[in-house]
Amino acid sequence: MFSYSLKIPYLYTKLFPSVIHRKEVSGKKIFLSFDDGPHPEITPRVLTLLDKYNAKATFFCLGKNLVENPNIAQMIIQGGHRLGNHTFTHENAWKIKFGEYINSIEKTQKIINELNPSTENIFRPPYGKITPAIANILKEKEYQVFLWSWILGDYKKNIHIDKVLKKLIHTIQPGDILVLHDQPKSFENLKIMLPKLLYLLSKQGYIFEKL
C-alpha cells in the first residue's frame, strides 16, 4: 500500500487502533504469515520448509484459491497452521464499493469456515488498504484484522535479499508479524529468502507461531 517500506508507518497504526500490527508475547516468539495463496506448487514447498524448523504460520488466503485448491488448504490446516481471510480475489478497499468489499470478505470466510469450522475470523486487507468504515464493521462482526510489523518485499523484482534480512535480524522484536507471499510473482525471491530467514532467526532463538 505504501511506497515500499519494511515496516508499517507509525501514523497508520494510530489511525486504525483496532488493526493489529504486532502482538504482546512472552519469550522470543514471532509470527510468520503468507499472503495470496494457496498455490498448488508453491504452498507445499513452503509447508515442507516450515516443518523442517517446526515453524507454524498463518496463511491469509484468497477465496478463489481456496476454491481451486481445497487439498492445499487442508495441508495447511493439518500442518498445524492457520487459515486467514484475504478477500475473494484480492480486492482493493480503496477502489471498490463498501458492500462489495464486505461481501468478498464474507464469501471467503464462509469457505474458510467450511474447511475449518473451529477457526476464528481473522482478516488481512490486500495491499494493507483499509478504511475506517471497513475497520469498524469488521470489528462489529468480530473479525481480528492483522497488518504487519515487517513486509519483506519478496514480490519486488530488484530487492536486495541479504540487505533486507540484515536489517530484520538486527531490529526484529518478539511479537513482530512478518509478511511473505506464497504466489508465483514472489517465488523466485521467496525460495531464497525464506530458508535464510528461518535459519537466521532460529539461530537467534526465535520460535515461529501462528497468529
What letter represents residue 19's amino acid?
A: V
What is the Cα–Cα distance from 120 to 143, expressed in whole angstroms? 8
The catalytically annotated residue of 39, 81, 86, 181 is 181
The catalytically annotated residue of 21, 35, 86, 176 is 35
Q: Using H for helix, E for strand and C for coil, what is the string for 87-137?
A: CCCCCCCCCCCHHHHHHHHHHHHHHHHHHCCCCCCEECCHHHCCCHHHHHH
Q: Give how far the C-alpha of residue 134 lies from the chain's centroid of Cα atoms, to the nearest Å.
A: 19
Q: Which residues contact 7 (CB under 8 A, 6 or more apart)?
A: 149, 150, 151
86 is catalytic: no
Sign of the torsion angle spanned by Cα atoms 184, 77, 147, 46: negative
3-state secondary structure of 180: strand
Cis upstream peptide for 44 (omega within 30°): no
Whether the CB-CB separation of 88 and 62 falls below 8 Å is answered with yes
154 is catalytic: no
Catalytic residue positions, numbered: 35, 181
